[in-house]
Structure 1
Amino acid sequence: MVTIDPPGQVSAVRKQVGALWSRLLSLVYPPVCLGCSVIMARHGGLCPTCWSGAEFIERPYCEVLGVPFAHDQGEGAISPAALAEPPDYHRARAVMLYGDIAASLVHRLKYNDRLDLASIMAAWMVRAGDGLVEKADVIVPIPLHRLRLLSRRYNQSAELSRALARLTGKPHGIGLLVRRRQTRQQVGLGEKARQRNVRGAFVVPDAVKADVTGKRVLLVDDVYTTGATVNAAARALKRAGVADVTVLTFARVPDP
């Protein structure tokens, strides 16, 4: 079944309830650093040590791949990698490079049932998007195959995209992109093996092609490694008539 979550409007009552819940939560669970669990003044942050260790991606960076440059290359600069092998999406952005802090947050969201991290990570992703989230028509997560979803119980990419939709009021397209065959896990595979693994794995169902034709899609995943997964997904979206694909991830590996 395909569902598109409607844009959310947070009422004054819900804000008050949220503030009250945060105060109660602080009494039961003292606020700690998301990176190392040291006691903090408030929930949802990093201590100074972890903050300095997190490699946030800031300009200047490649306008296509989102990979940071060592030096300013000028407005609209594109990296040699993007010129030599243009991706199937139009542009990619990420919050931080995949290091110890990013790995810890992603791992806890993905494997340790820390779904509360999704809203915090999504807020950072909106900032990293630099206005691209607001320009999207619909937010679509990288889907899991239904059998893997049953074993894992939730899709971390969908949790991030759902949080992004709630923060921005954008439609959340669940079911607009599906993984039609179960693929091997990408961890441990080389670049070419990753590409073969996900080739043809994604499709936009015929019943919902009209919902994406001509639209600007924000494609969400947790980590960008070689780009094989998001490229395969972007090809499926473009075959269905999507006009523009922006990839937004929490972290990315700078040199796979």
Structure 2
Amino acid sequence: MAQLQTAVSMIYPPRCTTCGDLVESDFGLCGPCWRETAFLGGAICDACGVPLTSGGKDGVFHCDTCMQDPPPWVQGRAAVIYRGNGRKLVLALKHGDRQELARPAGVWMANMVRNLVSKDTLVVPVPLHWSRLLRRRYNQSALLGAEVAKNLGVSFCPDALLRRVRTPSLEGLSHEARMVALEKAITPHPKRGHRLDGKPILLVDDVMTSGATLKACTNACFDAGSGPVRILTLARAVKEA
């Protein structure tokens, strides 16, 4: 088997997931792409994962937005900032049919919450409406969720939530307009929603901007009797300074 893998590597050498340059191992980033990818760490908001500079108490930080309007979930994390290579990775996974990107992304994401989740946690992806799923052929959040659950050694349910309404694109809408568009759009699945009952939930999505979709999903989990809920995304959008 080792000889076969060596032969395959010689014919198809590992390539950087972002730029395609040669790298040492599969699903890795080359040195320049690694340096240009803004991985999150250090001082971050404990609720939404946005990077911070100061203001923490006992090692726990919260951004102004989450202090003024606390989200319904207890903690939130993201692996990278949604800009530069982080944005390229999200768009390639979401619209470029680069499904293999879920594998390294799942490792990065799992590492962000490894010390936060319990072994009875259920990983649940943000659902796609059936019409978008039919067109795209896969739910990128479900791909990420499966990899996160595998790396954490916890359970995964790809369809615990159901998007009943095909909501319009939320890009460019205010937070209030997003919440109105998502009202009653996401519910527990009538056949699989029972798996949410009594379970701590890790909600997984590709990117968080305003958090409106994740709030709708969190409330749907509460409707099914689950909690606490934590959120995890591949990328976190931040305001440019």
Distance 1:205-1:47 versus aligned 2 partners, 3 A rule: closer
Tell whether the 8 Å contact from 1:141 to 1:157 is kept in structure 2 after alignment.
yes
Q: Which moved more, 1:242-251 or 1:133-142?
A: 133-142
User: 2:40 maps to which residue?
Assistant: 57
The answer as to 2:177 corresponding to 1:193 is yes
Q: How does 1:66-105 map to 2 (within 5 A)?
A: 66-71=49-54, 73-74=56-57, 75-105=59-89
User: 2:30 maps to which residue?
Assistant: 47
Tell whether the 8 Å contact from 2:49 to 2:236 is kept in structure 1 after alignment.
no
Distance 1:40-1:189 versus aligned 2 partners, 3 A rule: same
Q: Following TM superposition, by how much is the alpha carbon of 1:143 offset from its aligned partner in structure 2, in angstroms?
A: 0.6
Tell whether the 8 Å contact from 1:136 to 1:218 is kept in structure 2 after alignment.
no
The answer as to 2:207 corresponding to 1:223 is yes
User: 1:112 maps to which residue?
Assistant: 96
Aligned residues: CA RMSD: 2.1
Quick one: distance in 1 between partners of 2:34 and 2:8? 23
Tell whether the 8 Å contact from 1:195 to 1:228 is kept in structure 2 after alignment.
yes
Quick one: distance in 2 between partners of 1:196 and 1:58? 33
The one-letter code of the counterpart of 2:177 is: A
Quick one: distance in 1 between partners of 2:3 and 2:69? 51
The one-letter code of the counterpart of 1:38 is: D
Q: Any stretches of 5+ residues in structure 1 without a counterpart?
A: 1-15
User: 1:171 maps to which residue?
Assistant: 155
Q: Following TM superposition, by how much is the alpha carbon of 1:228 offset from its aligned partner in structure 2, in angstroms?
A: 0.7
Q: Following TM superposition, by how much is the alpha carbon of 1:181 offset from its aligned partner in structure 2, in angstroms?
A: 1.1
Aligned partner of 2:195 among 211, 232, 239: 211
Tell whether the 8 Å contact from 2:73 to 2:218 is kept in structure 1 after alignment.
yes
Q: How does 1:124-143 map to 2 (within 5 A)?
A: 124-135=108-119, 137-143=121-127
Distance 1:141-1:149 versus aligned 2 partners, 3 A rule: same
TM-score where L is the length of structure 1: 0.85
User: 1:3 maps to which residue?
Assistant: none
The one-letter code of the counterpart of 1:123 is: V
Distance 1:224-1:39 versus aligned 2 partners, 3 A rule: same
User: 2:225 maps to which residue?
Assistant: 241
The answer as to 2:133 corresponding to 1:146 is no
TM-score where L is the length of structure 2: 0.90
* Deviation digits for residues 18-60 of structure 1 (CA, Å, limit 9, x no counterpart): x677545423332222222222222222222221111111122
Q: Any stretches of 5+ residues in structure 2 without a counterpart?
A: none
Q: Following TM superposition, by how much is the alpha carbon of 1:190 offset from its aligned partner in structure 2, in angstroms?
A: 3.3
Distance 1:65-1:24 versus aligned 2 partners, 3 A rule: same
1:56 is paired with a residue whose SS is coil
Aligned partner of 2:146 among 150, 159, 162: 162
* Deviation digits for residues 78-127 of structure 1 (CA, Å, limit 9, x no counterpart): 22211100112221100011111111111111122211111110000011
Tell whether the 8 Å contact from 1:126 to 1:133 is kept in structure 2 after alignment.
no
2:230 is paired with a residue whose SS is strand
2:201 is paired with a residue whose SS is strand
Q: Following TM superposition, by how much is the alpha carbon of 1:142 offset from its aligned partner in structure 2, in angstroms?
A: 0.4
Quick one: distance in 2 between partners of 1:66 and 1:253? 10
Quick one: distance in 2 between partners of 1:255 and 1:136? 35
